[in-house]
Amino acid sequence: MSVALAADAGLALLILGLAVWTSIARTAGGAVIGFMAYGLLVALVWVRLAAVDVALTEAALGSGLTGFVLLGAAARLPRDAPAARPGWGLRLAAGVVSAAVAAGLAAVVLLLPVSAPTLAPAATANLPALGLGNPVTGVLIAYRAIDTLLESVVLVLALIGLWSLARDGDWGGRPGALRSADPSPALVLLAQVLPPLGILVGIYLFWTGAIAPGGAFQGGTVLAAMWVLTLVTGLTRPPRVGGRGVRLLLVAGPALFLAIGVAGFWLGGAFLAYPAGYAKPLILAIEAALTLSIAVALGLLLAGPPLAQSGPRA
């Protein structure tokens, strides 16, 4: 057994251990913290699988922002005893079914055919025509652009769903889930010092996505995290959900993407086709608008549904 394989085996065991901890931890908060550590280790696995773009997304979104949302929810759960666990019969049946599914999938992994079908050569070969160096960005923004367009719309839909959960009286207020009553001075200092650097990192991730791992989603996530940091400490206030400016920012990315896609009917011969020679600038414009819209959408998703103004009213 080589050193690398031994290290990978250790990594896999740690991941499984954290997954078990997430399932059996006594408190919800403990389970969520286990899940966040689990997400960071899974990001390491993605690096080991040479999928650095995925690793960045997993660390920022799958572990970081998801953990943030779940921690916030765990802190607000009722303290009384949780509902009774299902009986032994159901647990046994569920265990048998789950073990059978896992064993079946493991068998599939072990019995895979030797030669794997892949589109990687085609994806790499056509990159120069797009002016890109990162094949993942090429797939996201050109070959499978329809997926990315729908995905950016899904974020807006999720936000609409979230806002729909507000009570009638709260509609039109500012999202109120993040503001902590008394942030610690250390956190306030961090929120003052970190965002300039974080914004730089976010913009860099978006820019470098054309030639190296990175892109609109990773960059937008970092920008959203910086915004959320200032929201938590009260340095900035979340915008009113009815405001025109924030809604414009939210749809700017998907709208520009859709507009350029429709223009492709005339200029490129198909929906979402880029005219020859103009692919790179168009892709950069779409990615820039998407980064901004994704950052705003993620930040508002974390900020929760609107709440009516507290305190004295005019």
Partner 1 sequence: MSSVTLFGLCGAALVGLGLFGLIVQPGVLRKILAFNLLGSGVLLLFGVIARRGGGVVAGNGSDPVAQALIITALVVAFAATVLAVALLRRLVQETGRDSLDSDG
| Interactions with partner 1, residue window 265-304 (CB under 8 A) | 298, 301-302, 304
Chain center to CA of 88 = 37
Residues 35-64 that bind partner 1 (CB under 8 A): 35, 38-39, 42, 45-46, 48-51, 53-54, 57-58, 61-62
User: By C-beta, is 42 or 226 nearer to partner 1?
Assistant: 42
Burial status of residue 253 (CB atoms within 10 A of its CB: 0-12, 13-18, 19 or more): buried
Residues 142-181 that bind partner 1 (CB under 8 A): 143-144, 147-148, 151, 154-155, 157-158, 161-162, 165
Residue from 3, 110, 181, 314 that binds partner 1 (CB under 8 A)? Answer: 110
* Cα–Cα distance list, 83 to 15, 18, 22, 173, 253 (Å): 28, 24, 18, 34, 44
Q: Does 305 bind partner 1 (CB under 8 A)?
A: yes
Residues 119-148 that bind partner 1 (CB under 8 A): 119-121, 123-124, 135-136, 138-140, 143-144, 147-148
256 neighbors 94 (Cβ within 8 angstroms): no
Q: What one-character-per-residue DSSP string does 254-310 give?
A: HHHHHHHHHHHHHHTSSTTPPPTT-HHHHHHHHHHHHHHHHHHHHHHHHH-SEEPPP
Residues 80-109 that bind partner 1 (CB under 8 A): 82-86, 90-91, 94-95, 97-99, 101-103, 105-106, 108-109
Residues 8-27 that bind partner 1 (CB under 8 A): 8-9, 12, 15-16, 19-20, 22-23
